[in-house]
């Protein structure tokens, strides 16, 4: 099975997100804060405050998918263009 086959864009939410949020909460962030359509062929990437977890939300055919990754010994780095924005 190939994941992300229909993806056309990838969007990073720059501010940290409360990781208790699930599909409904993250899709509201996409709509209200990012001004984007969560049903589009895009990936929406979120990071937590400590930068050791990622969540990826995307629409696939008939429903939302939520993918999560947790780093055990490292942290995700901010890109230089994302800091203090």
Query: Is the overall model pTM greater than 0.85, yes or no?
Result: no
The domain limits of the chain are 9-70
Query: Residue 63: phi, psi to the nearest 5?
Result: -170, 165
- Predicted confidence (pLDDT) per residue in 23-56, tens digit: 999 999 999 999 999 999 999 999 998 888 999 9
Three-state DSSP at 58 gives: strand
- Whether residue 30 contacts residue 23, with contact meaning beta carbons closer than 8 Å, is answered with no
Q: Which residues contact 56 (CB under 8 A, 6 or more apart)?
A: 43, 44, 45, 46, 66, 67, 68
| Per-residue DSSP letter, 21 | -
- Predicted confidence (pLDDT) per residue in 57-85, tens digit: 999 889 999 999 988 876 776 654 444 33
Whole-number pLDDT of residue 84: 39
């Amino acid at each position: 099975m190939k994941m992300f086959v229909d993806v056309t864009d990838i969007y990073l939410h720059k501010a940290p997100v409360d990781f208790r949020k699930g599909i409904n909460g993250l899709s509201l962030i996409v709509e209200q804060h990012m001004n984007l359509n969560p049903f589009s062929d895009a990936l929406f990437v979120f990071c937590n405050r400590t930068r050791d977890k990622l969540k990826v939300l995307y629409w696939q055919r008939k429903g939302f998918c939520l993918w999560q990754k947790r780093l055990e010994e490292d942290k995700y780095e901010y890109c230089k263009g994302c800091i203090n924005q």
